[in-house]
Amino acid sequence: MKYIIAVIQPDRLDEVLKKLTQKEIHLVTVSSVIGRGRQKGIAEVYRGHKEQGSLLKKVKLEIAVNDEFVEPTIKAIIEGSRTEKIGDGKIFVIDLSECVRIRTGERGNEAIG
Ligand SMILES: Nc1ncnc2c1ncn2[C@@H]1O[C@H](COP(=O)(O)OP(=O)(O)OP(=O)(O)O)[C@@H](O)[C@H]1O
Ligand SMILES: [Mg+2]
């Protein structure tokens, strides 16, 4: 299992969710965050979403998936958020050791989807 974290432009969220849904990826956590990439928030201000200092408003998605869904998830996020301009975002993939559905006590592959 993997835990996929993506930081994207807020105005790409709807499109990313659409692409994920098309690939049967429905379970997701979404947060509003602030952050900066390698331009340190400076050159990207023209894309809007300016927050404080050098930090810009972003949206963070967190998706826990079974291994066969890792590549489809990455692909969907890219399809929904790539504009080829700076600040399109980044995807991080982390090994996930456990997942528990609280209601049933199911674990691992059973609990994740
Ligand atoms: N190494 C990192 N660690 C933590 N967060 C990061 C990292 N890189 C990017 N982020 C987060 O992702 C957001 C988007 O990053 P961004 O797309 O600007 O990456 P970049 O490396 O600057 O690439 P680009 O040159 O395409 O802008 C940042 O505002 C920040 O919140
Ligand atoms: Mg950047």
pLDDT tens digits along 10-69? 999 999 999 999 999 999 999 999 999 987 656 565 565 665 568 899 999 999 999 999
Task: Give the span between the Cα atoms of 28 and 52, in whole angstroms.
Answer: 27
For residue 55, the ligand 1 atom closest to its alpha carbon is: 29
Ligand 1 site-directed mutation target among 7, 12, 49, 91, most atoms within 8 Å of CB? 7
In sequence order, the β-bridge partners of residue 50 are 56
pLDDT at 79: 98
| Structure token pair of residue 109 | 């592959």
Residues with CB under 5 A from ligand 2 (ion): 37, 39, 86-87
pLDDT at 54: 80
pLDDT at 32: 98
How many angstroms separate the alpha carbon of residue 16 from the centre of ligand 2? Answer: 19
Question: Which pTM was predicted?
Answer: 0.93
Q: How far does the chain reach from its first CA to its final CA, in angstroms?
A: 11
Q: Whose CA is nearest to atom 31 of ligand 1?
A: 35
For residue 33, the ligand 1 atom closest to its alpha carbon is: 31
Q: Check residue 39 and report its DSSP letter.
A: T
Q: Please report the DSSP string for 40-53 in residue order.
A: TTTTTGGG--B-ST
pLDDT at 39: 79
